[in-house]
Structure 1
Amino acid sequence: MKRPFVTKTAIDVRYAETDQMGVVHHSNYFIWFELGRGELIKEMGFHYADMEKDGVLSPVADIHASYKRPVHYGETVTIHTWVEQYDGLRVVYGYEVVNGEGVTCVTGSSTHVCVKKDTFRPIAIRKHFPAWHEAYLRITASE
């Protein structure tokens, strides 16, 4: 599937991110996904911090990773991030971790909703953040 809007975030694998075998520990991929997601949001023209100033959070409702090939200390990988699905309430981001040889090492996705910080009650992005809503529609329209 051709994705119309994909950000690419380079990561230099640090020693602290590896396990005793010199392989990146699985928990670090979720951190890398977050870095990619933040970069995607920035490239859309927004910042999560602005949303949080308005008393809204965007927690992870679901997250998955599928490990294809190990990544090691000293490698540089690129996190490809895009919006897989958007329905006005939920956003599903897709991720692909690619090594320097162009080989996919990890794929994944995370689902997010927006909630009021004080009550954790879900809110509609399309209603409370119309600019974000329009941007999500624009980057998913040609998929």
Structure 2
Amino acid sequence: MEVSYQRKVNFYETDAQGVVHHSNYPRYFEEARGFFLENIGFPYHRIREELNIDIVLIELSVKYKHPLFFGDIFNIETKFNVENRYFFYFEYQVVKNSEIVSTGRTRHCCIDRQTRKIVPIPDLLV
């Protein structure tokens, strides 16, 4: 499944040259990931409260291809993939005017909120 999240670059996200600072891309990915979960009917708060688990980020990678600038409108195409019973990942493509400007990947697992121990991926996410 793929979900598209649209966003506009804010001035505070840019550096002195007007280019989006590299540190913002992980934030964009987090926003897109939250939007993805909302779209499948399981936002973070519901996962935490109803299933008593937290989704933990354990790995992050970003590839920068072209810059984004203040005022640019872009989409983040987000895909969810299961690695095995315990680990899953999201893949991201940041797209502006049909051009891929950045790609990324985050790897995750779920942990029990009380014990803080890893648990299998809930069926509702698979």
Give the TM-score, by structure 2 length.
0.92
Counterparts of residues 9-48 of structure 1 (less than 5 Å): 9-48=5-44
1:26: how far off?
1.1
After TM superposition, give the deviation of residue 14 of structure 1 in Å: 0.3
2:103 matched residue in structure 1 = 107
Residue 61 of structure 1 corresponds to: 58
Structure 1 residue matching 2:30: 3-state secondary structure: helix
Distance in structure 1 (CA, Å) of the matches to 2:28 and 2:109: 19
Partners of 1:86 and 1:40 in 2: how far apart?
18
Asked if 1:131 corresponds to 2:124, the answer is yes
Q: Deviations over 1:1-40 (max 9, x none)?
A: xxxx211111110001111111111111111111111121
Q: 2:89 aligns with which of 83, 88, 92?
A: 92
TM-fit CA distance, 1:113: 0.4
Distance 2:41 2:104 in 1: 24
Residue identity over aligned pairs, in percent, reads: 27
In structure 2, the residue matched to 1:118 is 114
Structure 1 unaligned residues grouped into runs of 5+: 137-143
- In the alignment, structure 2 segments of 5+ residues that lack a partner are none
The Cα of 1:60 is off from its aligned counterpart by 0.4
- Considering fraction of residues, name the structure with more helix: 1
Which protein is richer in strand relative to its size?
2
Which of 67, 70, 74 aligns to 1:73? It is 70
SS in 2 for 1:31: helix
SS at match of 2:67: coil
Query: What is the number of equivalent residue pairs in this alignment?
Result: 125
